Structure 1
């Protein structure tokens, strides 16, 4: 009797796992693209150009038969798109020019701790002693890896870490303020619309800061990497994670997402040749352990 429910969970768990791995591949692709001399403004524009048609289709498909958007909806979508997908993405891409893919993923994995802090700061939500312990465990892990990065890559790591942490804060703001709109519009429709806003902002940013002639110097490898980033590491994992949540729930999908940092580290070692030291291993275990405790001690 119990085997049937367990079998029903497997498709959702597989989707959540594949989504987490695909999301984590984004940092690897960005680091590979940087080897061809492209800058963050151009690289994120290329990613969003190829992702834009896909998210437009998603927004249209998810909005079929739904009530039209109100003026308030559009204002909220613009704000969420700016914070959650434009600013968070740009800061992340910029930070990856200075830090390893593994360290970037660990910083982004702190997202639940930032959401907890924002809840306390903005809405006066209570933080328990257990949650503070979980926070201390997580951030001690980041400090361990930061020390290793500083030793290997120099002072620019501080700038890179600040940019990536800013990305994590920006996305945490999206999570904190998107709850009501998700209930109104649905997760798929909101994601499609907010990401479309971000795509247009990234394209507009490029047009303001770079001449169109800059595209003539972009290596063909960067174009293909951007196509891969837009499809396999941006659009596809969004769908997979949403479908996983529908099947196994948000909590189990989030717990399965713990494979993300490990897959980033593995790909960083195998594809980018990033070092894997005892400090990185210990820091990763502390970050993941702290976030796991935080989800258990809510």
Structure 2
């Protein structure tokens, strides 16, 4: 039997652009989903969304200088994301604003600036490319970048495993017993920005955070243990991105939103059916906490 005749395999076997899109989604699933798990544990999921928009002006400036250049847009996006993270932290430490408020202010400024740059110097096609990505047009250089970021992310998470866990559950204890606290904190921010830039190239700035946050949130409804949580988040990202690509191919829908909607449907189903979901999860009564 010819693989091209199989409905679930045929599009990937027959069309090179579908195979490249699948390879890009696999790389993103193995890098962004684990980062999303730690975002969830650190209660920073909305921070991920803010940072996804914060990379836009840097990518837009890269586009302004060199056009749709992978290197220029990557370097610009990373620089913009790290700048917004550092600026919001400085504003929070030197003013009455909390970090979430300062981050919201800076990311809104970044988003508006990025859209303005692309709109003024580009056209509607360029703007759609930046906002929603071109996962069906990934080339070899972009796939190499996504694969490299996935490898760096997995190696960094392995090296920072213990300090990251401690910072998730008791950051003050980590600061008191180890000098690795700043490394864990800022190293994780760098990983987050790298993965958001990778997601930006494939899914666009509006959809990039979906493959990071939704698999982690869905997996958390099914398990409390960390290793199964990581594995399940990656598996959900793989299944939803593959399903989203197939649905987009069959029904000619925008690919990035279709992938994120597939992740959203998995989340809504889990919210109803999972052990920690809305219907089955029983909150402890007040007497449970009494001595």
TM-score using structure 2 length = 0.30
Highest RCO, 1 vs 2 (Cα 8 Å, sep ≥ 6): 1
Task: Output the TM-score relative to the length of structure 1.
Answer: 0.29
Structure showing the higher helix proportion among its residues:
1
